A and B are shown apart, each in its own frame.
Chain A
Amino acid sequence: MSAEATRGSMIQVSHVSKRYAGGYEALRDVTFSVESGEMVFITGHSGAGKSTLLKLITAIEKPSAGSVIINGQNVSAMKGGMIPFFRRNFGLIFQDHKLLFDRSVFENVALPLAITGFPRGEIAKRTRAALDKVGLLGREKARPITLSGGEQQRLCIARAIVNRPAILLADEPTGNLDTAYAEEIIGMFKSFNQVGVTVVIATHDEDMIERLGPRILHLDHGGIAA
């Protein structure tokens, strides 16, 4: 592919297939690209391959065929030692939150910064800024278990953005939330997108998509249905 094509494109998925041991084909010849600063929704019924696609993008799994290029880096050809540094490009918001319940709200958000190796003063400053953005500044000493579902989701978002990632990836971020909370969360994603972050959200929440009217990649049985 030419340099023209890669310039400005943050995520480039070309002819990607993913077949698991046992023959199950989660993705079949998927091709799309996401420009830098774009906000994209990946939709589809459960089992359509949304989660698999996110795993391929974050190098949790490797494609059986095709290539995934993120910010100019070919994920399939990446060496194991590079993967940790590659993953620091992303802010990840997981369906099951993956919060650490034996650590405080502050420590949960500070973890990515500690991993990157920021000095302690800088960690405190950035962590508080991220907590402020999601409206949890007053709860920094609390344990995640004492937070409501909506607050836990916002904590997740704070952890995802604290490292100022180029790409925000969210898997069903509004899954178990009522409409008011869900709208608040989506509002946050929009504001991050407005300051230049590329946002990719996997969801089956049809209401939200209709209201926003964004670019949609619809997956159907492992293939893109345009």
Chain B
Amino acid sequence: MNWLLVHLDTLRESLARLGHQPLASALNIIVIGIALSLPAGFYLGLNNLQTFSRQLSSDPQVSIFMAIDAGAAEVAAVEQRLKSNPEIGRVEFISRDQALARLKRSAGLSDVLANLGRNPLPDAFVVTARSNDPAVLEALHDQARKWPKVEHVQLDAEWARRLDAALNVGRMLVTLLAVLLAVALVAVTFNTIRLQILTRRDEIEVSKLIGATNPFIRRPFLYFGALQGLAGGFAAWAIVALAVLVLNIQLADLSGLYGTPFKLEWPRGDDTLILLSFSAGLGWLGAWLSVSRHLWVIEPR
């Protein structure tokens, strides 16, 4: 219990110390916030891009279009072949009428379509594989072309795979950026704590003289570093959230023009939690390195 109180006291003290020098603290927190907001923002952007690409075309899939004059029996035969293939996951049948209805709903072409005498769309199957292996769908692509009354088979995996590869490159860049800026955060904290140790030299010396252990002396600095990092994490979150807010206003116009609803998602709860614990942890690390480096120099004489 007492142990807990000691830590709470240190926490209170460190908060007070942050408040003591509001300008210096604010500048540090802003620097940390900006540094962290870059990888956090890019990460969020990538996530949004991926969500968007999933909306357009989810997992890699094959579309099989029947000929316009295909009868119910031929359609049923194709469906039978697809369903008996154990490697195929989901088979969605889209009838001509459904396809037309969808087109009317989504693209704002109802006027044009209403003028058409007959439905120009064929029956179609949308097929996804059970596994992520692209070879399954490629094989299906080649086979299905030879089935009777199959007009056209389209492999939709190609561009999705390219996008995925691009996203992977993006993710690697974000990771590199995060590592670089994490080092910057540690360096900022290291320096802040170094200055604090120098200004509190007397206090440290007296404390050592009257029996303070090293953990006791180290503790407030570690708390300070972690708190400053945490505050920087909050600042980064606020910067990213603000950017999402501003961009969504612009995107509302853009998506209105294109007819597809698209808006950026907010940072998710678990991502926010990771950001905050990451920044607090790095602040703590910077403080720890600084204290270890500088504290032993101050020995009572």
Query: What's the minimum C-beta distance from A178 to chain B, rounded to whole angstroms?
Result: 26
Check if A100 is an interface residue, CB within 8 A of chain B.
yes
**Interface segment out of the listed A32-40, A114-122, A147-155, A189-197:** A114-122
**Interface segment out of the listed B148-156, B204-212, B252-260:** B204-212
| Count of residues in B whose CB is under 8 Å from the partner chain | 19
Query: What's the minimum C-beta distance from B297 to chain A, rounded to whole angstroms?
Result: 15
Q: A112, B202: Cβ atoms under 8 Å?
A: no
Q: B300, A60: Cβ atoms under 8 Å?
A: yes
From A94, A98, A100, A115, give the contact of B211 (CB < 8 A): A115
Q: A98, B2: Cβ atoms under 8 Å?
A: no
Give the top 3 A-B pairs by smallest Cβ distance, nearest first: A88-B211, A87-B211, A84-B213
Known A98-B206, A100-B206: A119·B211 in contact at CB below 8 Å = no
Check if A158 is an interface residue, CB within 8 A of chain B.
no
Query: What's the minimum C-beta distance from A157 to chain B, rounded to whole angstroms?
Result: 13
Interface of A with B (CB < 8 Å)? 58, 60, 81, 84-88, 90, 92, 94, 98, 100, 102, 111-112, 114-117, 119-120, 159, 163
B204-229 residues with Cβ-Cβ distance < 8 A to A are 205-214, 216
Query: What's the minimum C-beta distance from B110 to chain A, rounded to whole angstroms?
Result: 75
Interface of B with A (CB < 8 Å)? 2, 5-6, 9, 202-203, 205-214, 216, 300-301
Distance between Cα atoms of A159 and B209 in the complex (Å): 12
Q: A84, B211: Cβ atoms under 8 Å?
A: yes
Q: A115, B207: Cβ atoms under 8 Å?
A: yes
Known A60-B301, A100-B203: A87·B209 in contact at CB below 8 Å = yes
Known A60-B300, A60-B301: A120·B9 in contact at CB below 8 Å = yes
Distance between Cα atoms of A86 and B210 in the complex (Å): 9
Q: B209, A58: Cβ atoms under 8 Å?
A: yes
Residues of A within 8 A of B206 (CB): 98, 100, 111
Query: What's the minimum C-beta distance from B187 to chain A, rounded to whole angstroms?
Result: 27
Residues of A within 8 A of B205 (CB): 98
Q: B9, A84: Cβ atoms under 8 Å?
A: no
Query: What's the minimum C-beta distance from B1 to chain A, rounded to whole angstroms?
Result: 8
Q: B202, A100: Cβ atoms under 8 Å?
A: yes
From B2, B6, B202, B210, give the contact of A87 (CB < 8 A): B210
Q: B209, A111: Cβ atoms under 8 Å?
A: no
Distance between Cα atoms of A115 and B214 in the complex (Å): 11
Residues of A within 8 A of B9 (CB): 114, 120
Q: B301, A98: Cβ atoms under 8 Å?
A: no
A112 to B, closest residue via Cβ: B210
Q: B209, A98: Cβ atoms under 8 Å?
A: yes
Distance between Cα atoms of A92 and B212 in the complex (Å): 14
Q: B216, A115: Cβ atoms under 8 Å?
A: yes
